[in-house]
Amino acid sequence: MAAEPLGTQSIQAVAPASAPDLERAAAPERAPFDEPVTDWRQRHLLDVDSLTRDEILRILSTANAMAEVLERPVARTPALRGVTIFNLFYEASTRTRSSFELAGKILGADVINMSGSGSSVEKGESLVETLNTLSAVGANAVVMRHPASGAPWLAARTIDGHIINAGDGQHAHPTQALLDAYILLREFGDLDGRKVVIVGDILHSRVARSSIWSLTTLGAEVTVVAPRPLLPASMAAGAAEREHPLALPHVRVSSDLDEAIVGADAVMALRIQNERLRGKLLPSTAEYARRYQLTAERVAEAAPHAIVMHPGPMNEGVEIGVDVAHSPQSRIEAQVSAGLAVRMAVLFLLIRGGA
């Protein structure tokens, strides 16, 4: 028997949801994907903090419609035919890069992948000059990952095309935050008052920063948990139990996972970013795992319906137990699958939108 293509397995894993906040989804019959979107006003996606609650829900409901496209026998639509998208990745990626590439191709766009190595960056070409070159060869949109926080903002000022931030330094990862919100909405219908715990290397995590913003904008109560050296200074100062010092509503900071996880609706573990720690801040991985690893015993203290999330890539056995990562409560594979529909929605709205 012929092996099932990997893409089909992924696509089936993210069937469209009937959650209330996702049901605004414009079904393809009602809003054909080959017509312009006249009511979308964002030209770029740099971070979720520039999106209103309605705009976040619009992306996620469009992702739900895209999930319907992915269920078709031939998962293709010509919505972005004639569009050229460059995936410009200066940092390693598996999930984000592959799903953006597939998303563009399913929507009918021409997608060109570029990384720092093998491009003229190796000969000393600057980011601005690289972007000008991509613009000159006809890029309509650039999806970029860069180790420098803020690089996508520079890009948005440099070229006329659409810029989509696929992760910049320690700063922001908006499509990861959107797909995480999509998974939570599919699970719970709405996020009002839902308790979400984010535990791990908050200091270096662009996922944490963007997810805190999107989840609280959708009504969730977020508790970030980390040892003080792995909290940003602004949060570490308030690590006892007071509200986030930057005055983000509905965000609490704790260094006690065993206390914070009690009754949680969802727990998201973050990777220890060894490449950014460079041996500092975390003297003992074993001690970290003892106090902060998502173990089955700790997850048992969350709500009975609680789900477990991780943006990946995982250090199994460090921030998350192997059994927990692959348990029935885990939505980690579903997160990866949802990334395709969410990134299709982002490309479609930005490129076919009015801005």
- Summarize as ranges the residues that interact with ligand CP (CB under 6 A): 93-97, 167, 176, 311-313
Of 93 and 329, which CB lies nearer to ligand CP in the complex structure?
A: 93
Q: Tell me how far, at minimum, the Cβ of 310 lies from ligand CP, in Å.
A: 9
Buried-state track 82-108, b at ≥16 Cβ within 10 A, e below 16: ebbbbbbbbbebebbbbbbbbbbebbb
Q: Tell me how far, at minimum, the Cβ of 173 lies from ligand CP, in Å.
A: 6
Helix and strand tally (H, E) in the chain?
Answer: 14, 9
The letter for the amino acid at 107 is L
Buried-state track 206-218, b at ≥16 Cβ within 10 A, e below 16: bbbbbbbbbbbbb
Of 28 and 312, which CB lies nearer to ligand CP in the complex structure?
A: 312
At 90, list the tokens: 């200066």
* Orientation of helix 332-352 relative to helix 174-188, angle to 10°: 120
Contact 227, 290 (CB under 8 A): no
Using CB atoms within 10 Å of the CB of residue 133, give its burial: 0 to 12 exposed, 13 to 18 middle, 19+ buried: middle
Of 97 and 244, which CB lies nearer to ligand CP in the complex structure?
A: 97
Of 20 and 313, which CB lies nearer to ligand CP in the complex structure?
A: 313
Of 94 and 120, which CB lies nearer to ligand CP in the complex structure?
A: 94
Q: Tell me how far, at minimum, the Cβ of 336 lies from ligand CP, in Å.
A: 8
Q: Tell me how far, at minimum, the Cβ of 339 lies from ligand CP, in Å.
A: 8
Q: Tell me how far, at minimum, the Cβ of 167 lies from ligand CP, in Å.
A: 6
